[in-house]
A = this chain, B = another copy of it.
Amino acid sequence: MTQIPPISPNRVPTIRDVARAAGVSVGTASKALNGQGQLREETRGRVQQIASELGFRPNDLMQSLLRQKSFTIGLISTDSYGRFSSPLMEGIEDALGAAQFSVFLCNASDDPARERRHIESLLSKRVDGIIVTSRRTDPRAPIDLGVVGVPILYAYTQTDDPDALCLLPDDAQGGQLATEHLIRAGRKRIVHITGPEKFLAVRERRSGYEAALEAHGLKAPKPGVLAGPWSEAWGFEAVSGILERKAKVDAIFCGSDQIARGAVDALREHGVRVPEDIAVVGYDNWEIIAAATRPALTTIDMNLHTLGGLAATKLLGLIDGHKDSGVQRFPCRLIARASCGTSETLVTKRKEDGRPTR
């Protein structure tokens, strides 16, 4: 018989405490608690009874050690839990939680040294995988894991390493979707007000816009594309400029809901009716902005919650040894509200609570 320490009051009970209290060996206790082996029902029951009385809870640290698997993943974010990270994280956590995985939260806030420390810590904690997230889709430096074979996945960001798996929204498709929605609504002179060109998302959304125009034999008014900061003020300013020049425009596709809101405010205050005179489509489906705009914004949703869930699922696949790599794009969807009028061709309209309304 091994030496067994007394149960000091506030100590977390171990399986040995259970075994001793039940008058069996540690091995037997283990089997009883895990439903393994051949045990007399009475023994099994007694052990389980005692375990629950003692508040015994198996130590995951040890299990991880034994199984060589921690059921834990690391989530590295450079977006301070902002607009994009939030739905992503939610989707990731939902999917991972269902698979009994836990998530280590790491906010690197664009600081490489801090990111490095987090990586080291995650590896030391033997996470089974890592998801990297960002606030923009542009390529970033790959994370160097050394020789360690921990699966890694980039979500809402990407890296040049061809072996890396990167999940991104299809911003070109999103831009095309928005523009075609306007075209189907009968609009022919569509302007695009968007963010800084240094953002990949800006360039891709614009290419979708241009592709849609071309596919329908339309030309952009000139200037067709106005790039500026990601702000309401810019949307307001850009629209004011358009109206001052008395440019003939019947629709605006905005690169973000914030820009769209500024645009709609400017239109309204200049006496231009939305959507009758000028229809507007935004981007992001940021409820707090989109739903509060008057009229509420028709906008593009990047399905980030879904993308997060997908990221989690794919990471679990990588952990299970399924090979996967490359940059993968996932479609955006259009959320129809009032800023673009209504039309038979609209996709399913959803109320704020997420349930289909018809």
Chain A contact residues, CB within 8 Å of chain B: 10, 12, 55, 57-62, 64-65, 70, 72, 75, 80-82, 85-86, 89-90, 93-94, 97, 100, 102-107, 114, 117-118, 120-126, 146-149, 231-233, 258, 261-262, 269, 288-289, 292
Contacts and interface: CB of A to CB of B under 8 A. Distances in A.
B105 A104 contact: yes
B232 A292 contact: yes
B81 A90 contact: yes
Contacts of A103: 104-105
Contacts of A70: 61
B81 A94 contact: no
A292 B234 CA distance: 10
Contacts of A61: 61-62, 64-65, 70, 125-126
Given A12-B148, A62-B65, A104-B102, A124 B90 contact: no
Given A81-B81, A104-B102, A107-B94, A125 B86 contact: no
Given A61-B65, A121-B102, A292 B231 contact: yes
23 contacts: A12-B148, A55-B146, A57-B120, A59-B65, A60-B121, A61-B62, A61-B64, A61-B125, A75-B105, A81-B81, A89-B105, A89-B107, A93-B107, A94-B107, A97-B106, A97-B107, A97-B118, A102-B104, A103-B105, A104-B105, A105-B105, A258-B288, A288-B288
Contacts of A94: 107
Given A103-B105, A105-B104, A124-B57, A82 B86 contact: yes
A149 B10 contact: yes
Contacts of A55: 146-148
Nearest to A74: B102
Given A60-B126, A149-B10, A288-B258, A86 B90 contact: no
A58 B120 CA distance: 10
Given A65-B61, A70-B61, A90 B97 contact: no
Contacts of A147: 55
Given A65-B62, A97-B114, A80 B75 contact: no
Given A105-B104, A126-B61, A85 B93 contact: no
A170 to B, nearest CB: 24
Given A55-B146, A61-B61, A103-B104, 6 more contacts: A72-B125, A86-B86, A89-B107, A94-B107, A97-B114, A261-B292
Nearest to A117: B97
Given A65-B62, A126-B59, A292 B258 contact: yes
Contacts of A65: 59, 61-62, 65
Nearest to A81: B86
3 nearest CB pairs, A to B: A105-B105, A81-B86, A232-B292
A60 B127 CA distance: 10
A149 B261 CA distance: 51
